[in-house]
Structure 1
Amino acid sequence: MTTPRPASAASFDAAPLTEPVDPKAVTAFAAELRARGSSGTNGSSIIAIVVIALMAIIVVPVVFTTIVGMVSTPGGSGFAIVPLVIFGAVAVVIAIGSFVGWRRARVTRYRLHRFAQANGMSYEGRVTAPALPGMIFSLGGSRMSTDLVRGTTPRFVEFGNYQYTVKRGKSSTTYRWGYVAVKLDVPLPNIVLDAKGNNGFGSNLPASFQKEQRLSLEGDFDEYFTLYCPEGYERDALYLFSPDIMARFIDNAAELDVEIVDDWMFLYTQRRVSTLDPATWAWLFGAVGALITKLDQWERWRDERLLLENQTAAASASPAASARLANERLPFAPPVGLLSPPPGVAHEGRRLKRSFPWVPVVFMIAFAAFWFWSRSF
């Protein structure tokens, strides 16, 4: 992956996103994806395509033959064939629309593949249930990432579209997100930046967090983001989000929700990230490029609580050994490096504490009350 830069630098090759494609090359790439089990077409889509094809091959000719027979029958009414004509026309439109959509999806995957190649990256059509620790990746069922574009230099970055389905009784809702996953050098506390620029009626995030974990930062950062960090990690958050890093987030990611969890940083949006729109890629490359140039200082962060946590665990595992070590007198001072905790996060900082999402529930109750009230009149 070439190092992303701000969008104004136009440091990537966007030509493969829009240039004409060779149909034979598209077919060959679709066969390659199927061979390695990474096609973006899932089982339900294949069934739908087969059903529509059968409609076009069987149903439409049958309808046409019936219409001809009715018209040629003496005394037949012309009005009787109107429903059949409408049914046949709808079947044809559905079949053509489905074929066009299927072909467009194949071309899109090929163009994204060529775009990734042109920019020193790789393309993957689909990953089922991606093993990522972000908040959106543990919800619902039928989890799937599609159209993944990945780079490994200067650090691993993945651009992808993601969806999951939540079932409520007999109904279900599919939620769609776009995301950018950036691999960090060390694990960090779970920190969430809820962007205010993309919120509607309350936060658009799929999770709510206890208000005691909300941290106000200096300057105008609070005008753009609501920051949540685990209780007791406020000083660590201030170190990680120094004024220069806050400025980068404001200037380049004010419309993106951000989550830091384990050794990952995720940028979330409720629009497609992996797309054929060059302007979207310019925006994302600019945002990622501006942020990752400031992440080196995060590598130096260490969690002092982890050292105490390890000592406590050792003492509980062997109380006698712990007491013996406490009474021993070392003839020399240990090196400073041995007193520093290793990379990692203590238990209390690994995940934010969730809260119950009262706002949607109150809204639903109010709507139901209004509906029953209006029905009573």
Structure 2
Amino acid sequence: MTVTFDDTELRAPVEPALARQESRERVDREGRQFGVALGSGWIVFQSVVLVVGAGVLAALAVVAVQFMFGADGADLTTVVLAVLMVLPLAVARIRSHLRGPRDREVEEFRLARFTAANGLTYRTGELDPERSAALFGIGTSRIASDIVAGPSPRPFEAANYSFDTWVARARMPRVANYVAFELHSPLPAMTLVTKATGVAASGWEPTAPQERVQIDGEVASRFEVFTSRATEEPVRHLLSPDVQAALTAVAERCDIEAVGDRVYVIARRHLPMTEPAYWEWVADLAYLVALLEARGRAEQTTGLAASEPARATRREALFAAPKGGRAAAVGCLVPLLVGLAAAALITKISTG
């Protein structure tokens, strides 16, 4: 299977100054000046609250250690150690705030060039998008970002998506990436919910009258299948061994919903749309949808041709968990432990 999209512009070097200029022009053209300023201010506010809160907790921890080793209470040492303990966190937040907008400008630049080269359309975002999948009918603060649409390999739309759900008074931020394909032939309404390990909670459920049905074959261990009683047998026919193998190969970590004249493939996380591997995956998904349609028309299917190992490896890397979280946690934990040890040592020395 060959790559459908020309990904040259995703690989080409980017001049940061040019990306910044085009980003500012795009913001002015789309009238997003207030939104950008508000978003930047909100990020700064969150960072300040986080650092100050961490500083207060660090100071309390230092005081507790000082009391344990005989000190009378907080002193200048408490403040100094607390500041030193949260300093790496503060530096990390500042660097993120400075680097984030620059990285975003480069992403927009690459996607704008890529979509133009492939005859696609690109929009930076859409508030409260209305789509037919159940995912878009729940939550608040709904926004689709980096919306790419086009007619080839078949009419499709791809985007990252964010929304909030609520448990009592607790806000639960949710993210997803979706690729929606237009159907040329109707399919029975159905939802496939992934059972893959390490996948975030979806925050949404298949809508009534769909209910869970038992399907024979490999798909039973990979997905939960939902459909109505009226379409249960057509769905069983649709999920042939060839189709099941294709689903497992390219969409095992995704939810899939066929509704109306669309098929949605939904990953429960944001995906890097500037990576060439993402567009290889979209091309594979287009073939999967064609396979579903052929099976629905009772035509002979041949399954999804096994892609070369390098392509499969790139697809695995696309869904791999970000690597920065553990390193950041360790980077903040080490100063905390060193600070508490220093508090104990200094207090012990000063109290004799």
Band of TM-score, shorter chain: 0.5 to 0.7
Corresponding residue number in structure 2 for 1:282: 280
Aligned residues between the structures: 269
Match of 1:152 in 2: 151
Indicate the structure (1 or 2) with the bigger Cα radius of gyration: 1
Task: Compute the displacement of 1:131 (Å).
Answer: 0.9
CA distance in 1, matches of 2:87, 2:291: 60
Letter in 2 for 1:142: S
Scaled by the length of structure 2, what TM-score is found?
A: 0.63
Correspondence for 1:45: 39
Is 2:9 aligned against 1:16? Answer: yes
Q: Contact conserved, 1:147 with 1:274, CA < 8 A, in 2?
A: no
Q: Which runs of 5+ in 2 are unaligned?
A: 47-75, 299-352
| Cα distance between partner residues in 1 of 2:116 and 2:45 | 35
1:36 pairs, out of 30, 41, 57, with 30
Flag the 1:122–1:83 CA change in 2: closer, same or farther, 3 A: same
Q: Could you say if the C-alpha distance between residues 40 and 162 of structure 1 is closer, same or farther in structure 2, counting changes exceeding 3 Å?
A: farther
**CA pair 198-13 structure 1, distance change in 2 beyond 3 A:** farther
Match in the other structure for 2:110: 111
User: The residue matched to 2:248 in structure 1 has which SS?
Assistant: helix
Contact 1:159–1:274 (CA<8 Å) still a contact in 2? Answer: no
Task: For 2:210 and 2:93, locate their aligned partners in 1 and report how far apart those are by CA, in whole Å.
Answer: 53
Q: Distance in 2 between matches of 1:166 and 1:226?
A: 22
| SS of residue paired to 1:185 | coil
Deviations 1:247-292 (A, max 9, x none): 4323322222111112111111122234333333323332x13213
Give the fraction of aligned pairs with identical amino acids, expressed as a percent: 26
The question of whether the paired residues in 1 share the 8 Å contact of 2:194 and 2:252 is answered with: yes
2: CA distance, partners of 1:172 / 1:161: 20
- In the TM superposition, residue 160 of structure 1 has moved relative to its aligned partner by 1.0
The offset of 1:146, in angstroms, is 0.6
Displacement of 1:107: 1.1
What TM-score do the two structures reach when normalised by structure 1?
0.59
Query: How far apart in 2 are the matches of 1:84 and 1:200?
Result: 36
Once the two structures are superposed, residues 205-248 of structure 1 have per-residue CA deviations (whole angstroms, 9 ceiling, x without a partner) of 62167899333334433232222110121222234334443343
Measure, in 2, the Cα distance between the counterparts of 1:283 and 1:125: 21
SS of 2:291's equivalent in the other structure is coil
CA RMSD of aligned residues (A): 3.9
Q: Distance in 1 between matches of 2:228 and 2:95?
A: 53
Rate the CA distance shift 1:81–1:223 in 2: closer, same or farther, 3 A: closer
Q: CA 1:226–1:44 in 2, change beyond 3 Å: closer, same or farther?
A: same
Match of 1:344 in 2: none
| Closer/same/farther in 2, CA of residues 247 and 90 from structure 1, 3 Å limit | closer
2:289 is the alignment partner of 1:292? yes
1:195 Cα offset (Å): 2.3
| Alpha-carbon separation, structure 2, partners of 1:247 and 1:38 | 44
User: Is 1:235 matched with 2:229?
Assistant: no
